[in-house]
Structure 1
Amino acid sequence: MNESPTDTATATDPTMDAIARAVTEGRTGAAASARQKLLTLWATIGVTGDPLHRCTLAHHLADLYEDPAQALAWDVRALDAAGAVTEQRVQRHHTGLHIAGFYPSLHLNLADDYRRLGSFHAAAEHLTAAREHAPDLPHDAYGASLRTALDEVAEAVSRRDTTRRASAPGPAG
């Protein structure tokens, strides 16, 4: 889900553009400001708004929280919204995307959240789900980074390690 909104985008979407701007701000170190912008946008979208908007926003907002419980709440919202996103809606936004490709990252994030909270059984369940969807990952640097992260989280689960991964997205704890 780390695609660039301008690569083969099919239509201008002001909400997706606003999400992208906030995500970029968060990645440059302004996590608190980016988080506030996304929370304000979430209030505008609402819990029944466009599922692609909700999924994308929640997925990226989770990365802006150091606390794994707060990240978990947003990652659950992202996965829930993904279930309502249609392939047609994704294609309207970006011709190169497929909803199936969202699931490895969504489940990986949930696995990592649960692992950090010490819920290793739940983490393992989401790792299994992420691996089941891994064939839908692109064969590029993004896909490789997710496959590496899956291995890192699996290793941390096997060690019962709850520390934050150095390679995890978002602010360092």
Structure 2
Amino acid sequence: MAGSDPTMEAITAAVVRGRGGDVDGARSDLEALWSEIGVGGDPFHRCTLAHYLADLYDDAAVALVWDVRALDAADALGDERAQQHHASLQVAAFYPSLHLNLADNFRRLGSFDAAADHLARAEDRCTALPDDAYGEMIRSAVADVRRAVVARSTERRGSAPGP
């Protein structure tokens, strides 16, 4: 990490809190941070926060709102800013996961055409993913969501992140 970033530290602490079982507390922490950052704030902070906050909602419509915010922030984000957090980050590698999450939310809401569109976008961008466990996890989830779209399933995936 290039330097201290209190906002990223607070986002990370909230994510850890949520993964530790305090989903309500994590949501509250992240929503308070969102209010501080604002819709015009640092796109890296907005993207990261919204991406993680979406995972804390079981309601696909609410998660969709946060995932759209994460995608919008990624569109305003450049590699230089992301690399201030960690030198290895490439914004292009964010998009497969962002589109995957949108596809999964649309699928769970029964909007299969929109889900298929975002799946195609995720698949097109999977080449930006590293050949590691993270990249494989995203590729596998894209395939899982693709199967669920074909089956017209709106059931939550067992492997989906969330509460």
**TM-score, normalization by structure 1:** 0.93
The residue that corresponds to 1:27 in the other structure is 19
Unaligned runs of 5+ in 2: none
The CA distance in 2 between the partners of 1:42 and 1:19, in whole Å, is: 10
State the AA in 2 paired with 1:110.
L
Give 1:5's aligned residue: none
Distance 1:27 1:39 in 2: 16
Give the Cα separation in 2 of the matches to 1:12 and 1:150.
34
Report matched runs for 1:3-14 at 5 Å.
9-14=1-6
Work out the number of aligned pairs and report it: 163
Structure with greater proportional helix content: 2
Q: Is residue 98 of structure 1 aligned with residue 90 of structure 2?
A: yes
Give 1:86 deviation, angstroms.
Answer: 1.1
Q: Which runs of 5+ in 1 are unaligned?
A: 1-8
Identify which of 27, 42, 46 aligns with 1:50: 42
**Alignment-derived partner of residue 84 in structure 1:** 76
Q: C-alpha separation between the residues in 1 aligned to 2:15 and 2:65?
A: 18
Deviations 1:110-144 (A, max 9, x none): 00000000000000000000011100011111111
Moved over 6 A (4+): none
Offset of 1:10 from its aligned partner?
1.6
Is 2:131 the partner of 1:142? no
- Per-residue CA deviations over 1:132-159 (Å, capped at 9, x if unaligned) read 1100011111111111100000000000
2:154 matched residue in structure 1: 162
Q: Provide the alpha-carbon RMSD of the alignment.
A: 0.6
Question: Matched residue of 2:100: which SS?
Answer: helix
